Structure 1
Amino acid sequence: MKKFYVASSFRNMDAVNYVTNQLVNKGYVHTYDWTKNAQGRDEKTFTFEDLKEIGQKEKDAVIKSDFIVVLLPGGKGTHIELGIALGLGKKTFLYSLDGALDQVEKASTFYHLPEVEKCYGKLDELVDKIAAQMLLSQEIS
């Protein structure tokens, strides 16, 4: 089954965990759960050694993934993870609840590349869209 990674921020952990659980329940393999790094910790309590280790794990997880999901608004590393995925030609599902993806003053040029699928609506709709596209890509290949 296809492998995935979810990029976002600590403030979106509930949404990250929801999407992750829904995709895992559909049989997809999650490459790394960065939300576990926050359990019982504040962002300010990480050391540089912690950041180095976590950064390596996140980079490796993006590389191992067949696709990534980016939930906006993101954190400090979210757009770096997006950049790694785009540089490797990974399918990317970019989600925004508020439609910021189509507002020129808020959107990145990279949001409009062909490997980026812009997604809106409820998280269940996002998961359904991912599953449908992954099934279609399997049928084509």
Structure 2
Amino acid sequence: MYDTNLKKFYIAGSFRYVSLINELSARLESLGFTRTYDWTKNGKADSFEKLSKIANKEYKGIRDCDFLIFLFPGGKGANVEFGIATALKKKIYLLDLTNEIQDFEKTSTFYYLDNVYRFAGNVDDFPKFIEVQEVKVD
């Protein structure tokens, strides 16, 4: 069996979901996963220098993760993070908070890439969904 301590994740989402993001992170960490970077502690940047520092830390967090969690709908930054993870060929777990992903008129083609695992259901069941996918028996 894989050791979940070896699996690292990054969560991309909007600042409006900070409590949910931190709750999901705590639940995943209780399962043995490790968060690569907690951008929720940054607050709002007030200079280009701070934006640059934050951007580099977030990029490193995405680069170093085994999988990315994307809370949909996400803001501008979360969508960029989704794109970076896609370009880096990371596995992406998409939590659809609005059921728009299943609405053909509102969804995006990129949410249907082979590396994207979509989840629309009870938020409480989402960490278990990830655990089942990530913890495999050899």
> Is TM (by shorter chain) over 0.5?
yes
Q: What is the aligned-residue identity percentage?
A: 40
2:109 matches 1:122: no
2:89 matches 1:84: no
Relative to the length of structure 2, the TM-score reads: 0.91
Whether contact under 8 Å (1:97, 1:122) holds in the other structure is no
2:32 matches 1:27: yes
1:61 matched to which residue of 2? 61
Whether contact under 8 Å (2:72, 2:98) holds in the other structure is no
2:8 matched to which residue of 1? 3
Letter matched to residue 73 of structure 2 = P
Q: What residue ranges of structure 1 are gaps of 5+ in the alignment?
A: none
Q: CA RMSD in A?
A: 1.2
Whether contact under 8 Å (2:73, 2:98) holds in the other structure is no
Partners of 2:30 and 2:10 lie apart in 1 by 15
SS, match of residue 42 in structure 2? helix
Partners of 1:3 and 1:124 lie apart in 2 by 20
Partners of 2:124 and 2:118 lie apart in 1 by 15
Runs of 4+ displaced beyond 4 Å = none
Relative to the length of structure 1, the TM-score reads: 0.89
Shift of 1:104: 2.2
Aligned residue pairs, count: 133
Q: What residue ranges of structure 2 are gaps of 5+ in the alignment?
A: 1-5
Name whichever structure is richer in helix by fraction. Answer: 1
